Structures are given as structure tokens and as C-alpha cells.
């Protein structure tokens, strides 16, 4: 598996996000203004893009936000989500991040907790789905 880093939203990342978040989960607003300033990661199995996420600077230069992490259904449960998350942490460190925050879907909370993220905010709803802020010190 190869992970590539992009400074703009690549079509492969968008295709994965639409498949997972729009077609599977019913979200509507998949593309936003953050895509133009975020660093995007895409994991490939040969030539096939299978997972993606993005990172971007938060309100402080040392606080980055991870978002839009998703893996195609046929590749889930094989550790690829964790691998791309760890790559995102490394990319964020190179950009000066000391902590990485994310707005987890409630159903994914345990996945992030297993990788060292802790709850860092109240339960909120995004497009009708329950989410919770989580954070990790990545220094």
C-alpha cells in the first residue's frame, strides 16, 4: 500500500468521499472551502485509491484538524484506516502540529480511541448525524 500526499483535493479522494459519505451514509455537503487549503492523503492498492483523509490548520498553528477519513467498504477491517491515520499524524507533525483533533462520527469513536484519541467535546450533530470532538497529542 502506498500513501500519497497532495496540496489540493485529488479526484481519487473526492471519488472515495462521495462513495462513502454521500452514497453509503447519506451526507449531502461533501465538498467545502476547507478542501482548497487542506493537505489530502490518499492510500492506494496498486492503482486503486482505497482510503483518504485530510488535515488542516486549526485556530492555532500547532493544532491541526483531521477530517473526511474514510475507507472503501471492501477494504475495511484490514487496518487501512489506522495506517492512513498514522500517516496523517506524521504529515501534521511535519507541518508543525503538536495535537490533532477530529470530529468523529459517534460510531467511529472506538476506532479513534484505540489509536490514542480522547473525547474532547460534547456530542454534536453534523448533517443530522451524531459526532464528538476527539484529540491526541502527537508530539
Q: Using one digit for the tens of pLDDT, what is the confidence trace for 24-66?
A: 998 988 889 999 999 999 999 999 999 999 999 998 778 999 9
Contact assessment for residue 36 and residue 19, using Cβ atoms and an 8 Å cutoff: no
Among 23-27, 68-72, 89-93, 100-104, the least confident range: 23-27
pLDDT higher for 9 or 28? 9
SS3 58: coil
Q: What is the pTM of this model?
A: 0.93
The pLDDT-based confidence of 128 (bands split at 50, 70, 90) is: confident
Report d(CA 46, CA 43) in Å as an integer.
9
Report d(CA 27, CA 80) in Å as an integer.
22
What are phi and psi for residue 99, nearest 5 degrees? -140, 150
Measured in residues, the chain has a length of 139
Report d(CA 137, CA 108) in Å as an integer.
19
Whole-number Cα distances in Å, 10 to 14, 29, 100, 137: 7, 17, 22, 28
The pLDDT-based confidence of 1 (bands split at 50, 70, 90) is: confident
Report d(CA 69, CA 15) in Å as an integer.
13
SS3 24: helix
Contact assessment for residue 101 and residue 64, using Cβ atoms and an 8 Å cutoff: yes
Report d(CA 55, CA 88) in Å as an integer.
7
Amino acid at each position: 500500500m502506498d500513501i500519497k500526499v497532495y496540496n489540493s483535493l485529488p479526484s481519487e479522494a473526492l471519488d472515495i468521499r462521495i462513495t462513502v459519505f454521500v452514497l453509503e451514509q447519506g451526507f449531502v455537503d461533501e465538498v467545502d472551502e476547507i478542501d482548497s487549503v487542506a493537505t489530502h492523503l490518499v492510500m492506494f492498492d496498486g492503482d486503486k485509491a482505497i482510503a483518504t483523509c485530510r488535515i488542516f490548520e486549526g485556530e492555532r498553528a500547532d493544532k491541526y484538524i483531521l477530517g473526511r477519513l474514510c475507507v472503501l467498504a471492501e477494504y475495511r477491517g484490514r487496518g487501512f484506516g489506522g495506517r492512513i491515520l498514522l500517516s496523517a499524524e506524521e504529515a501534521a507533525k511535519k507541518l508543525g502540529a503538536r495535537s490533532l483533533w477530529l470530529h468523529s462520527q459517534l460510531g467511529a469513536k472506538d476506532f479513534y480511541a484505540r489509536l490514542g484519541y480522547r473525547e474532547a467535546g460534547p456530542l454534536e450533530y453534523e448533517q443530522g448525524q451524531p459526532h464528538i470532538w476527539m484529540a491526541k497529542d502527537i508530539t
